[in-house]
Amino acid sequence: MLLLTPSDWDPLADLVHRRTNHEKRIRNAATDGSSLLRLAADPQPDIQLIGMWEDDQLVGAFALAEGPDAAGWTADERAEPSWMVRQAFTDPDHARLGRLATLWIGDYAARQNTSPLWIRCAVPEPKVAWYLERECGWTLVRKARDRVGYLNSLLQRAPERIEHFDLLVTTGADLTIDPVLRRALLTSAHVDPKD
């Protein structure tokens, strides 16, 4: 897992294009990936764009930010320390990346000096929400309409430290040393990925 930069635009655009084409073949695509590509071109200080690489190929990407979007989450839930996974895309030719990314995010969050209480997401596609619940360990909180009227499944899961997970998925030094979310000023308790 590595922090994506504007220099990763081409592999990210290719990933988004392949995923979107795949989604259009099997169902209506809920998003075209333009928000994720805008983040790559114009990074935001309070959103981390993270890429999952296999050798030299980008196989997954998502945005990670502090706090849930306001739409659908209650005021009490928005006040809880949480991270929001936004705009997740995985390579359609690689199975189970959602499960692997979920485990990494949970482990990564649990290793922070100030771990969030929850990791959350809002999913417009019912089959993807079902997969996240059944296969990836997310819990459905409720369904709610977003600002433009899409019905989203609001999901969450608690951070969970997994011993020796770094043997399965390595985390780049830019993610383990730098703050995860600049606005939240979270730092890793695990400076050396080999520890």
pLDDT in tens, 118-130: 999 999 889 889 9
Q: Quote the tokens at residue 36.
A: 């994720």
* pLDDT (tens digit per residue) in 44-60: 667 788 888 888 888 88
- What is the pTM for the complete model shown? 0.76
CB atoms closer than 10 angstroms to residue 189: 14
**pLDDT at 146 > cutoff 50:** yes
Distance CA 192, CA 171 (A): 10
**pLDDT at 143 > cutoff 70:** yes
3-state secondary structure of 163: coil
Helices (H), the chain: 9-26, 34-41, 75-79, 97-110, 126-136, 173-177
Place of tokens 């592999």: 11
**One-letter identity of residue 113:** N
Q: Quote the tokens at residue 104.
A: 């990494």
**pLDDT at 16 > cutoff 60:** yes
Distance CA 144, CA 122 (A): 9
Q: What is the 3-state secondary structure (H, E, C) of 11-48?
A: HHHHHHHHHHHHHHHHCCCCCCCHHHHHHHHCCCCCEE
Q: Quote the tokens at residue 86.
A: 């936004």
Note the pLDDT of residue 116.
93
Residue 84 DSSP one-character state: E
Distance CA 30, CA 118 (A): 24
